[in-house]
Structure 1
Amino acid sequence: MLGRSVSPVFVGREEELAELREALDEARKGNATAVLLGGEAGVGKSRLLQRFSEQIAADGARVLFGGCVELSTEGLAYAPFTAALRQLVREQGADRIAALLPDGAARDLARLLPEFGEPSADGETGTGRARLFEQFLTLLERLADSHPTVLIIEDVHWADRSSRDLIAFLSRNLRIPQVLMVMTYRSDDLHRQHPLRPVLAELGRVSGVLRLDLPRLSRDEVAQQMTGILGSAPHYTSVEKVYERSEGIPLFVEAMLESGTDCTFPDSMQDLILGAVERLPEETQRVLRVAAAGGIRVGHALLAAVSNLSDLELEAALRPAIAGNVLQIADNRAYVFRHALIREAVHEELLPGEHQRLHARYAEEISKDRKLVPPGRAAVELAHHWYGARADVEALVSAWEAAKKSFMAFAYTEAVPLLERVLMLWDRVPDAAERIGADHIAVLEKAAKAAQAGGEVDRSVKFTKAALAELDETREPGRVASLIVHWANLKISKGKTGVVEDLRRALKLVPEPGRARGEVLMPMSRHLMLRGEAAEGAMYIDEGLRLARELGDRCLEADLLMNLALGHSLSGDVEATISTNLRALELGREQNSGRVMIRAIGNNIDALLDSGRADEALKLCEEGWQVAKRYGRLRASGLFILNNWAEALEAVGRWDEALDTVERALSFSPALRTRHHLLRVRADIALGRGEVEPLEAILSEIGVLKERPEDFVQDITNSTRLHIGWHMLRNEHSAALEVAEGILARPAQSSKAMLGWRLLALLRTVCDAAEVTEPARARAVREHAAEVAAHLSVAGPVAKAYKLTYSGDFDASAAAWERLGRPYSQAKALTRAAKAAALSGDRDGAATRLAVALPLAEGLRATPLIEEIAALSRRVGGVQRAQEPSELLTPRELEVLRLVALGRTNRDIAAELFISAKTVSVHVSNILGKLGVTTRGEAAAAAHRLSLLTP
């Protein structure tokens, strides 16, 4: 920006500058991702960042600027990121920026800047927004390949919801060196309900995000500032009065000195700020009022048109404001108020009629020539100004147009208030439907979709209910059916039951073959399969496949094939499951549908794991994650890949990696049902390690301890298993029996072989433990379990291994688990076999088995099992095997210890090993305990003494 600086001297802030530079140094190493710079209005945040950016730019860093404006809260989505993109295009050209992204990715950025061509055709609400986020992440990573890159975003207290979400996404996922985001916000503006508050709280928990508060100036710093402005040292009494009245806020110090040096100051700070404006010529003040109605930044041509002045007249009127540093000249022939507080003070002085007339003038001129505002902003500007002008017809039409533009930019949360404005104005505009080409229900439907896509499930429910209440199912059955499917999806995301009943109603509304029926058959058949009602589900799949092929809808066909594969999985036909999913995968590739491809891959990961092919499953996890990243679905179906990945890692005993994967997935703020799936993996590991408090917290959250109703048999079975495990961990055998009785009393059990036999194996353990105290109940549970087992198929080596445990052939079970590479299950089976051997008098045999089980349990830190082995060893007289020093620690702990010995901090270790600092802290605590030391230095010394770090 050009324009006179009020204070030529940069006062104080050396400590804050040093912290910002240190943050950049940490970012160069990959240890820092963002800085949140808070401070009161006028305290000097912008001035500090100006000095910081000048210094780092001189050192070769690339600095990108983006600012939020008040208009962002009315639907101007991604304003700071659009500004940064525009800067890049201006400096390097759109082609060079597009070349940094994967093929076709620039078409997503075209939704924000027309320089990138035509937007991509994929308008899926569930994928487009996630893909756009991925493109920004990729762009920053590629820019950082050549230069340290700093993205400065000012005034995030005005940020739109989409920008806040993107900020949070980048802060969590920028894990490469040389990228830093610096964001400013007004700390005094953050009232209790401010939407930025939860974002700041979330980011405060993210490793690599730093908080920095900018304090007011001290008395001495105010004196230095006054000296810089006045050109000579002020009198002591003047310093005292200015400091006392300004309270150390630099903007107020400047305003006081501009008002005169006699220190006779106005009563209010607004009057003080307006003092510089009121000393300007009357025509200048009038034009400033016009400019204030246009926002903090207004283009020259637009201001000239609204104020009815020629270029020469406008320049003459504004010259005193620029000379007085009330306005500054920005790029692209625009004017910007030096500080938002000045613009706010001028705007508040507008009379009601004047305010209304000025907004009408802005709307009229922008309507005539949309090029008067930056590209992509016309629709939102018009909606803002027509609403401010109280012109109901124009406000309704422009809000509808702006909402559609927000949809195009995947800014769904910004579309919702615009659509609510359309609904609010509807009754004031008699021919509203004709003017926007959509009826009232269509607006409600669009609002429901926008709210769901933006994660506002409760608002989506409200719009959906309102639309259903207005519809007549006898006149528009297809439309009602479509809304019921939407309603069912909302119920799933809220963890509600009764989805199948809703879908049955929808099916009755569309009895004739057609697209509307096909859209109901797909979710209906899927949910029936998940509820264990396979026969009816298969019937609807057959009908749906015929219909999809008649319609030529290959994606619908693929979805139904995957429902069919789910049925094969439940019946135990693993090979049919895999081959059917592969057919769906090919259709997904043919249609270039990332959603279909990722679902098919995720389903086959699960099938491979059930068939004991863990290595193939883990390899497919990596492939699925790359597909999710390529199609911008990391935060959507990509999280199912991470969940499958965590399950695979947990199964093969790589528990720490599984926990890291769960934490990574949870950082994306998944939908409720996905979160519950991830937490169940974490719960399994907590159960194995005997971590009572974390386990209780997880089970409480997912509703296990309160036995929250669930629809899907798989979820019911897994939750029951965890519930029983929880009681067994606490030696509450009677309570465990009660849960077992409850699950067996259900009319339908899981027909999926692996899930069924796994549960039955656990029920045997419960009965064995409770037999002494409650023999009758234990016997009844055994008999009931045997009835279930009689109808359960045995498909695949994993199910067979669980069946061997259930049957009591523990040695064969241990051998099976060893072949499958599942150490925890192997160690448990060996322990059960050792107990059986001890009971038969074979003490040596028991000790031999325990000697094999112990290192397996120790490697997993499975404390309850280790204690059980130790207790049994004492009873049989076995001598526990002395561990070799290198066997004290797991491979991951050895990696951590090696870095501890090099003097690395937890944050350094986390960055190098791509895990969280919290996980590193847990590893370090375990290392200290195992080595019997209390400090990191002692641990390093012990490592060298025991030769643990020898290659």
Structure 2
Amino acid sequence: MLDHMLGRSVSPVFVGREEELATLSEAFEEARNGTVTAVLLGGEAGVGKTRLVQRFAEQAAGQSDALVLYGGCVELSTEGLAYAPFTAALRQLVREQGPAKVAALLPEGAERDLARLLPEFGEPSGDGETETGRARLFEQFLTLLERLADTRPTILLIEDIHWADRSSRDLIAFLSRNLRSPQVLILMTYRSDDLHRQHPVRPVLAELSRVNGVLRVDLSRLSRDEVAQQMAGILGTVPEYAKVQKVYDRSEGIPLFVEALLDSGDECAFPASMQDLILGTVERLPEETQRVLRIAAAGGTRVGHALLAAVSGLSDVELEGALRPAIAGNVLQIADNRAYVFRHSLIREAVHEELLPGEHQRLHSRYAEEISRDRRLVPPGRAAVELAHHWYGARNDLWALISAWEAAQKSFHAFAYTEAVPLLERVLTLWDRVPDAAERIGADHAAVLERASEAAHAGGELDRGVKFVKAALAELDETREPDRVAKLIVRWASFKSYKGKMGIVDDLRHALRLVPEPNLARAEIATSMAQHLMLSGEIEEGAALVEEGLSLARELGDRYIEGELLLNLALGHSIAGDTEATLATNLRALELGRQEGSGRLITRAIGNNIDTLNDLGRWEEALALAEEGWLLAKKYGRIRVTGLFILNNMAEILEAIGRWDDAIETIERALNLGPVLRNRKHLLRVRADVALGRGELGLVEAILSETGVLKERPEDFLQDITNSMRLHIGWHLLKGEPDAALAVAERTLARHAQSPKAMLGWRLLALLTTVCDAAEPAAPASARAVRAQ
């Protein structure tokens, strides 16, 4: 109700937490057997503790007819309202059952002890504030829980015990130690980030953790996929990959922050209404601690001790003294190698925003100077990126440009393509501010655009990549620099292909004409063109280009290009149905990829071999290879291109062997990563296969409408044509329209040759047999013609 009044965007879908929910359910079952008495559920503010315990309580009440009593602690200065959670639970019980029925569960006259909590039980006993009176109150509450559990399972849910007053803490400890009757579970939540070292609840938690029958559960932040699911639940549609990434980066997986960012209408803006939650702890720290935190915030989410000491000018002892309250208050945490980490990046950002303009510029300059002086002050491999960040923050255009270019090259070597793109965009932004920019970095403006398009291509950033390619082509003249122009045309053709455009081969023929000489550029273009020809079913022409390219690549000693061409040759074998040759050729390319350390070759070869093993019926090997390939795609920064291709092939196998739930989970995981249009269609086709198998007509129709199958939208690639035809036929059969299914088969078979590849051709043949059998009584001639063909 309160969430609704505040207008918060809460996901109607319960996201993630399956493991934690199962843990609570298991604890409840053990409580019913008398082996578990209490669960302590900890987590940061906003991480979803309340949502989890509410879902658990709903399930317990629905499945086990459990009585759930709710109590919450209230924040009132340093000591909360005495017995607040127990008073709330007792009030609920009286409201539901009446005071007389509750009193009947206790020994005669014992209700007077409960009168200290609720006036409905009459006059309190006279010794209420004494130790004796307190002990009797504790015993009566214990008795009440045990008597309630005699008739039905009972859960006492106490939220926010980090605000519990001393009396409540003592009663919590008493019940947790002494409750031994079956069918009772006490479930308590607390904010782990509020428990500084002197917090009064810390010793209680430590004590209870040693009590038999008390479990402690930590609720972690959501993963990126879970944030995507939460956003989809709130928005009612699958969010764009870029938006998911922004929200995940900003929220760091805390569900409350995800909701707040979506509420703001801007995934980059954090609403002012959340500032108290973020900055409340910081503002209670000593002024000197806050000053040093502002310096640390300029250094980033993670700052090494030596670097912070150098920038702040403090000695080790002075720095440790200033930071100790921040660590005790859980604003900062100590990481590996004597580094300090802000508990959440939003805390760092909020503190950073308090810097005055001059202070901001001066601090970033100090960081850049110290890191330039000694790059060992930051973790290995991070100096270039850190310098780019700090010189830009210091408004030093020259060094910001130089360091961003250097950092981008380092990112390429580390396969961090998504990190390289914004660095190269910064170089482009600063270009006109540095008169001799080309001389400073040893590359012209078009070269920066070419490099940016390469990074965008590897990272699956299509729209940005197209922008870079167009800009570079506008600066180059194909008569003076045909090789560079030809390579850009190839990349543009690849972007167009990913976006589902037609006519790619014509672009590639133009690129090939620009480089008639037998050089490396021609070999590269021949590689791309051969791939498209093979996929289009033009095996003979594609094979000729592969042979030309292999000859050039081997003559020039370019093993990467040789590997790419071998993969295209294997693709031709696959389309032609020569599965053993496909496997052997892919393995040769994979070995070259490993020798060259090429992430693209390795992941592409693995993706192709997953498909080949599926054709051979070696499903277990294929699934194991898919898991390995997915990890390698992450390692090489190729999740959104070859990584999603690998997931698609995994889903195809799972669908083919009947593991449909696993196939759907794999498809949804891939769709949440923002696949390019071509890969999205591949994934949706597999999802449609599952829906056909389950008879989900509406879902099949929706998918086939989105992918253009129902309109028989033209397609270039043979496997797409075959799969679309098969799904179109299956849709008509599911609707009970064998004549219409047969007509689709006739039209498609008349226009296109089909592949003898196992999972394409054989599966289609089986379906066509079914179609002919079903349609033959009404259209015998057509059925016979299709069967003969």
TM-score, with normalisation over the residues of structure 1? Answer: 0.51
Q: Which residues of 2 match residues 201-212 of structure 1 at below 5 A? A: none
Stretch of structure 1 that moved more, 431-440 or 687-696:
687-696
Q: 1:569-606: CA deviations, max 9, x gaps? A: 44455555555556556656766767656655665665
Distance (whole Å) between structure 2 residues aligned to residue 567 and residue 780 of structure 1: 32
Distance (whole Å) between structure 2 residues aligned to residue 690 and residue 441 of structure 1: 53
Question: Which residue of 715, 718, 721 maps to 2:720?
Answer: 715
Question: Which residue of 685, 693, 697 maps to 1:692?
Answer: 697
Question: Which residue of 47, 60, 72 maps to 2:193?
Answer: 47
Q: CA RMSD in A?
A: 5.6
Q: Return the letter of the residue paired with 1:518.
A: A
Once the two structures are aligned, what percentage of the paired residues are identical? 58
Deviation at 1:650, TM superposition (A): 4.9
Deviation at 1:293, TM superposition (A): 5.1
2:535 alignment counterpart = 530
Is 2:710–2:728's contact at 8 Å kept on the other side of the alignment?
A: yes
Is 1:621–1:641's contact at 8 Å kept on the other side of the alignment?
A: no
Distance 1:758 1:363, change over 3 A: closer
2:629 alignment counterpart = 628
Is 2:493–2:508's contact at 8 Å kept on the other side of the alignment?
A: yes
Is 1:461–1:490's contact at 8 Å kept on the other side of the alignment?
A: yes
Is 2:560–2:596's contact at 8 Å kept on the other side of the alignment?
A: yes
Question: Which residue of 434, 450, 461 maps to 1:456?
Answer: 461
1:509 alignment counterpart = 514
Q: Which residues of 2 match residues 885-924 of structure 1 at below 5 A? A: none
Q: Which residues of 2 match residues 154-169 of structure 1 at below 5 A? A: none
1:752 alignment counterpart = 756
Distance 1:516 1:597, change over 3 A: same
Is 2:610–2:625's contact at 8 Å kept on the other side of the alignment?
A: no
Deviation at 1:510, TM superposition (A): 1.9
Distance (whole Å) between structure 2 residues aligned to residue 581 and residue 515 of structure 1: 22
Distance (whole Å) between structure 2 residues aligned to residue 807 and residue 767 of structure 1: 10
Give SS of 1:38's match: coil
Is 1:444–1:467's contact at 8 Å kept on the other side of the alignment?
A: yes
Q: 1:502-553: CA deviations, max 9, x gaps? A: 2212211222222222212122112112112222112112212222332334
Question: Which residue of 38, 54, 76 maps to 2:46?
Answer: 38
Distance 1:409 1:166, change over 3 A: farther
Give SS of 1:704's match: coil
Question: Which residue of 399, 403, 406 maps to 1:398?
Answer: 403
* 2:557 is the alignment partner of 1:548: no
Give SS of 1:710's match: coil
Q: Return the letter of the residue paired with 1:47.
A: D
Distance 1:46 1:486, change over 3 A: farther
Is 1:190–1:196's contact at 8 Å kept on the other side of the alignment?
A: no
Q: Return the letter of the residue paired with 1:434.
A: E
* 2:438 is the alignment partner of 1:433: yes
Deviation at 1:483, TM superposition (A): 2.0
Distance 1:20 1:364, change over 3 A: farther
1:422 alignment counterpart = 427
Q: Which residues of 2 match residues 357-436 of structure 1 at below 5 A? A: 357-373=362-378, 376-436=381-441
Distance 1:301 1:708, change over 3 A: same
Distance (whole Å) between structure 1 residues aligned to residue 380 and residue 584 of structure 2: 49
Give SS of 1:752's match: coil
Q: 1:215-249: CA deviations, max 9, x gaps? A: 99xxxxxxxxxxxxxxxxxxxxxxxxxxxxx99x6
Is 1:162–1:414's contact at 8 Å kept on the other side of the alignment?
A: no
Deviation at 1:427, TM superposition (A): 0.8
Q: Which residues of 2 match residues 476-487 of structure 1 at below 5 A? A: 476-487=481-492
Unmatched tracts of structure 1, length 5 or more: 1-18, 62-146, 172-179, 201-214, 217-245, 259-272, 786-805, 809-951
Distance 1:581 1:305, change over 3 A: closer
Is 2:709–2:728's contact at 8 Å kept on the other side of the alignment?
A: yes
Deviation at 1:340, TM superposition (A): 8.5
Deviation at 1:735, TM superposition (A): 4.1
Distance (whole Å) between structure 2 residues aligned to residue 402 and residue 649 of structure 1: 41
Give SS of 2:46's match: strand
Give SS of 1:707's match: coil
Is 1:386–1:394's contact at 8 Å kept on the other side of the alignment?
A: yes
Distance (whole Å) between structure 1 residues aligned to residue 368 and residue 361 of structure 2: 11
Distance 1:187 1:683, change over 3 A: closer
Is 1:601–1:620's contact at 8 Å kept on the other side of the alignment?
A: no
Give SS of 1:687's match: helix
Is 2:553–2:561's contact at 8 Å kept on the other side of the alignment?
A: yes
Is 2:603–2:633's contact at 8 Å kept on the other side of the alignment?
A: no
Deviation at 1:27, TM superposition (A): 12
Is 1:624–1:638's contact at 8 Å kept on the other side of the alignment?
A: no
Give SS of 2:502's match: coil
Aligned residues: 590
Q: Return the letter of the residue paired with 2:193.
A: R
Distance 1:38 1:492, change over 3 A: farther
Distance 1:620 1:641, change over 3 A: farther
Distance (whole Å) between structure 2 residues aligned to residue 290 and residue 334 of structure 1: 14
Distance 1:54 1:667, change over 3 A: farther
Distance 1:542 1:303, change over 3 A: closer
Q: Which residues of 2 match residues 282-681 of structure 1 at below 5 A? A: 311=315, 351-373=356-378, 376-573=381-578, 576-577=581-582, 580-581=585-586, 584=589, 596=601, 603=608, 614=617, 617-622=618-623, 624-625=625-626, 627-628=628-629, 631=632, 635=639, 637=642, 640=645, 643-644=648-649, 646-647=651-652, 650-651=655-656, 671-681=676-686
Distance (whole Å) between structure 2 residues aligned to residue 310 and residue 753 of structure 1: 70
Deviation at 1:710, TM superposition (A): 1.6
Deviation at 1:396, TM superposition (A): 1.6
Q: Which residues of 2 match residues 90-239 of structure 1 at below 5 A? A: 185=257, 188=260, 192=264, 194-195=266-267
Stretch of structure 1 that moved more, 502-511 or 648-657:
648-657
Distance (whole Å) between structure 1 residues aligned to residue 556 and residue 244 of structure 2: 41
Deviation at 1:687, TM superposition (A): 2.2
Distance 1:418 1:688, change over 3 A: closer
1:702 alignment counterpart = 707
Is 1:154–1:183's contact at 8 Å kept on the other side of the alignment?
A: no
Deviation at 1:458, TM superposition (A): 1.2
Distance 1:767 1:192, change over 3 A: farther
Give SS of 1:474's match: coil
Q: Return the letter of the residue paired with 2:516.
A: P
Q: 1:261-298: CA deviations, max 9, x gaps? A: xxxxxxxxxxxx9xx74xx8xxx998787666556776
Q: Return the letter of the residue paired with 2:392.
A: Y
Unmatched tracts of structure 2, length 5 or more: 1-16, 28-40, 49-74, 76-159, 163-190, 211-215, 228-240
Stretch of structure 1 that moved more, 477-486 or 524-533:
477-486
